[in-house]
Chains A and B, each alone.
Chain A
Amino acid sequence: MRVLNLTVNGDATEVAAPAHWTLLEVLRYRMGLTGSKQGCDKGDCGACTVLIDGEPQLSCLTVAALAEGHEITTIEGLLPAHLRAGGEGPDPVQEAFDRCGALQCGFCQPGMILSARALLSENPAPTRDEIKAALSGNLCRCTGYTQIYQAVELALAEATGAEPASPSWAPGENPWAKTPEGNARPAVGAAGLTEGTGVAPSGGDSRTNGKAH
């Protein structure tokens, strides 16, 4: 057993673990940070991706003891970091993944989101091809990746104030478009009431597509 000094999500922590444990095992089974997933055991899937000094790396191939002295960020770290930086709620990338429906089973997504987060931190305006390339080490079996690209592009658009592209399944109105005032589309309420009757307020539900006003 060794006492490891790990810096995880900004906190320096001491944790005891055998020397042959991987970082993934220590995070999950010693520290209770089960957000990082294990999909393949050995470097083939990307589900265990964490950020080490800001770079996406595979925690299932990282010997935990060798992660000492590095900044480790797991999926659990993004939201608190965003709050600490004065933001509201989850990291914009997490928020965009949720808004775009990119989270089906969600098992690949902690790793995927961290790869996306690293990309956007490094490249403020990636093209779709660059997004694809950056995420090509994170296997997703549910989505066909499309809604994942849309999420990254929505996060980008939100950051730059640009209009996000409309998905193929919404030929009428763009579900992610901004209103002229710069707000996201009004939240979903009971349509019969919100359209002009003025009786019931439109629901300000931040959990629907479109932000609360």
Chain B
Amino acid sequence: MLRLPKFEVAAPQTVDEALALLAEYGADAMLMAGGTDLVPNMKHGLFEPKLVVSVSAIDELQGVAIEDDGTLVIGAATTLQAVATNDEVRRRAPAFAQAAGLVAGPQLRRMGTVGGNVMLDTRCQWYNQTHFWRKSLGFCLKKDGSLCHVVEGGSKCVAAASNDTAPTLMSLGAKLVFARRNSEGQVVRKTLAVDDLYKSDGAFNKKVAGDELLIAVRIPAGAPQHRGAYGKLRDRGSIDFPLLGVAVRIDLDDAGAVADADLVAVALQARPIRLKKAAEALVGNTPGKPGWDEAVDAAAEAAYGQCHPMPNIPGDHDYRREMVPVYVRRTIRAAVAGEGPVHHV
């Protein structure tokens, strides 16, 4: 059996305890929620923490709540299954619920968490492999090596953000609440827009450090006429990571025209990409009215122009590019129709 490296494990009950452990062990500690990303990665020798700090026993990180202003607050350790089947989440943030419901397969959704998904490591066909495999080709610069096998001569890792919920959260303007211990030992909390979490470095695509604990995801109340959907391209109808993910948010005005829109794609490069021009093409147009189909096509075209998949994750990257406009069109239509997700099964 593929073995885990040796480590110790702690299961603190409170945020403070968890942060204390992170502070004490520093770089030797890693947080774990469902473990569905971290454990395979550890089996592949990608991480070798001395201490694994599980967040599963921390009550504060569990559950879905709705604040008075309509903000959805989702504890970081809430499972994907729980959010995908939660009626309030489905109603208020359909794209997010749909994305959560399409992550991996049934068992993994019952283990994997929202926080773990947001914090997911980037993926690459040259990286998500065993130690023997990676060693056979001299490793790569994301881990243990010095070159990139995707971009010849590249000096920056372009492994792909592959978390399905990330683009939906970006499209929804979600915010993340983190806690950490500062140098004086005090627990401080900060709120960060999801947009500001990711950076375009595949080696580590987040702007927070390993000692920062994600407490909750906050999704602000949507517009009264909020529409949203998620489209996911993958080979199989279950288990597989996205080959492309497209999140759509559309806010309609009273007349039914698009007042505001946001489109974000994932599984392309190190961070999810906001498809700004595509969204702009929709604004002012009215679904079902003349000009709408052209607007949708224009959005698809703009997205195609902006997205350049690379051979980072497995699969034919030219094909992935070809699918950008198709999934953009279909996901927009699904959102407007109150349907989705866009997925082949």
- B4 contacts A137, C-beta separation under 8 Å: no
Whether B254 is near chain A, meaning CB under 8 Å from some CB there, is no
- In the complex, what's the smallest C-beta–C-beta distance from B108 to chain A, in angstroms? 6
Q: Which of A18, A60, A136 contacts B6 (CB 8 A)?
A: A18
- Kindly state the separation between the CA atoms of A18 and B6 in the bound complex, as whole angstroms: 8
Q: Does A188 lie at the interface of the complex (its beta carbon under 8 Å from any beta carbon of B)?
A: no
A49-B107 contact in complex given A65-B11, A136-B239, A137-B238, C-beta closer than 8 Å: yes
Cα distance, A21 to B39, chains bound together (Å)? 11
Tell me if A20 and B11 are in contact (CB < 8 A): no
A21 to B81, CA, bound (A): 26
Determine the distance from Cα of A65 to Cα of B11 in the docked complex, in whole angstroms: 9
In the assembled complex, A55 has its CB within 8 A of some CB on chain B: yes
Decide if A20 touches B105 in the complex (CB within 8 Å): no
The CA of A19 and the CA of B35, in the complex, are separated in Å by: 15
Asked whether A62 and B238 contact (CB < 8 A) given A18-B6, A57-B110, A137-B104, the answer is no
The residue on B at minimum CB distance from A25 is B1
Q: Please tell me if A22 contacts chain B, counting CB pairs below 8 Å.
A: yes
Contact of A56 among B9, B36, B106 (CB under 8 A): B106
A42 within 8 A of B: yes
Given A22-B4, A66-B56, CB of A137 within 8 Å of CB of B9: no
Contacting pair B1 A61 (CB below 8 A) = no
Q: Which residues on B sit within 8 Å (CB–CB) of A41?
A: 1-2, 43
Query: Which residues on the B side are within 8 Å of A22 (C-beta)?
Result: 4, 39
Query: B110–A19 contact, CB under 8 A?
Result: no
- Whether, in the assembled complex, B161 has its beta carbon less than 8 Å from a beta carbon of chain A, the answer is no
* Chain A nearest Cβ from B258, distance in angstroms: 33
Interface residues of A, count at CB 8 A: 32
Min CB–CB distance A18 → chain B (angstroms): 7
Please report the total number of B residues contacting A with Cβ < 8 Å. 33
Question: From residue A172, how far is it (CB to closest CB) to chain B in Å?
Answer: 34
A61–B81 alpha-carbon span in the complex (Å): 17
Q: Which of A68-89 contact B (CB under 8 A)?
A: 68-69
A43 CB-CB contact with B under 8 Å? yes
CA distance A60 to B108 in the complex (A): 11
Q: Return the CB mask of A1-39 against B: 1 if under 8 Å, else 0.
A: 000000000000000001111101100000000000010
B40 within 8 A of A: yes
Against A, the Cβ 8 Å flags (1 = close, 0 = not) of B222-248 are: 000000000000000111000000000
Q: Main SS of the interface on chain B?
A: loop
* Also in contact, A136 and B43, with CB within 8 A (given A42-B2, A56-B110, A62-B111): no
CA distance in complex: A41, B1 (Å): 6
A201 to B7, CA, bound (A): 64
**In the complex, residue of chain B having the shortest beta-carbon distance to the beta carbon of A46:** B107
* A88–B35 alpha-carbon span in the complex (Å): 38
For A115, list chain B residues within 8 Å (CB).
106-107
- For residue B278, CB closer than 8 A to chain A, the reply is no
Q: How far is the CA of A133 from the CA of B32 in the complex (A)?
A: 27
Q: A18-B6, A61-B40, A65-B11 are in contact. Are A55 and B105 (CB under 8 A)?
A: no
B39, B106, B107, B237 — most chain A CB neighbours (10 Å): B107
Q: With a CB–CB cut-off of 8 A, which chain B residues contact A195? A: none
The CA-CA distance from A62 to B56 in the complex, in Å, is: 12
**Bound-state Cα–Cα, A68 to B13, Å:** 14
Q: In the complex the two chains form, what is the Cα distance from A58 to B104 in whole Å?
A: 12
How far, in Å, is A39 (CB) from chain B's closest CB?
A: 10
Q: Is the CB of B11 within 8 A of A56?
A: no
A205 contacts partner chain B, Cβ-Cβ < 8 Å = no
The answer to whether A137 and B106 touch across the interface, beta carbons within 8 angstroms, is: yes
Chain A residues numbered 146-170 whose CB sits less than 8 Å from any CB in chain B: none
Q: In the complex, are the beta carbons of A66 and B39 less than 8 A apart?
A: no
Q: What would be 6 A-B contacts, judged by CB atoms less than 8 Å apart? A: A22-B4, A24-B1, A43-B36, A56-B107, A58-B107, A62-B35
